[in-house]
Structure 1
């Protein structure tokens, strides 16, 4: 591991100022992803700015009925929070589906959103990877890509986003609060992560030096039926081959509110807008669900070894939609 300096600022403002003053700096909170990348030689910061002890570790009810989750709230604490379990069950389920108990005790809300792909070509310095070393090529495209993207990928990168939490947040219409040299701003979770395009090395639309300070869970999806389901190679501590988060509110047999997001299929949590448009105002029936999901997955472009992800994602989504839809009277 290369040498680096270490700073522990006392405020968010001090953290942002320290980042601006030290080219090559990185923020450190739980470190469950960054420390691994340091050991592998993928990341080599000049300074680590420890934000893990900043006062960003609370979950607060806001007057408008939304919930503000501080950036350093631990994944285990967020999953167990009664307000999250009651109002946003898909989020709690997604967190419990991610990593191991030990890692959830260390990982933070902000860090989860910023974790980098687990593509083995990205993590291996001996392999070509445009995300790690732009211009070297994508080794996975013609190599081992069973776990890789089927939606939104480019010639330069077929990596997937590894976050379970971000998929649930996308379906729930959550927003991210950021603080930087220009002050505070908010981004929808659906607008935070990038598709690879010509710059796969850029994972998000975060500006240099900006710090995630909170995630905001809106009142509009609070209490709506929601769920998260994930398919993986083993029962624990494995990243998603495909996953889905669904918010579904049905009134008198008609879909009144819907949010669907897929994980494990793309470079970012994939909000299924074609599916949502088809379902909103439609009968909450298996036939409607199947047709709406097919509209979204028709845009998939699977590679040689990962075409199985398309029916897998379809079946996951149909299962979750079916479980959330109320059973018709008399059935």
Structure 2
């Protein structure tokens, strides 16, 4: 017997949606052909996608019933995969888990061994989930900025959605690497929090959220954007000649209501960041860099821990914009 959050949809109708903490049996686990490694999950986390799934705010879940939780860290209980043995401690991010395959907001789950990453020695399972997909995505953004020539000497870096999970980790990473970071947020009360993470300046997200000119005053050498829509378009319009912008989120919207002007007149590079299906070598590189470059003190400063039983309530707060930083879910009592 084990506990898990179970999402159900009666008769395939959205109005029949329910999310509850259920007690399940091993026989309820997905068959081994869907996941060849059985994991005792110690910690999970709440990302934006988890919030969408738990509150049914968007059609994230595509198979029913579903256990949500795109991230998990824990110990291998059983393995039919050659890379993993009983007792190994692993981390999981993405790969459709919590959407088409059972996820990690459960005391036990089955995952595909090919998608697992060995827990870096620098991190505990709790710290790995304080990072989670959000922090791992932030690291992918930093790697992309570096790949396209951004350095601390290049100039100011903008981070949008800065009090969110991706934004918080991005601010902490970039500032520790020596960049001057400007954080965009709609939460003026969190200015001290962002400065403690390393932001050198704070701007109101309203400066970026409305339609703007195709080209604006050059300001940013690089951008990490987790917001999309007009915010991303304005960030592009304000990026300096030859600068680079990474896009990894859609908190404001999926649309991109802009022009090609920043690309053809200023040589700006827009890099899409996908964390869900990123190949294993790229994942491993990101985790290795997180182990080297993320200050554990800063990580703890942005982290809140809740028990599994509180995951639904915290997801509702997340979707209402009442959460900052990272939420760790402690699975076992």
**Higher helix proportion, which one?**
2
**Higher strand proportion, which one?**
2
Interval of TM-score (by shorter of Structure 1 and Structure 2): under 0.3
TM-score, scaled to structure 1: 0.26
TM-score, scaled to structure 2: 0.26
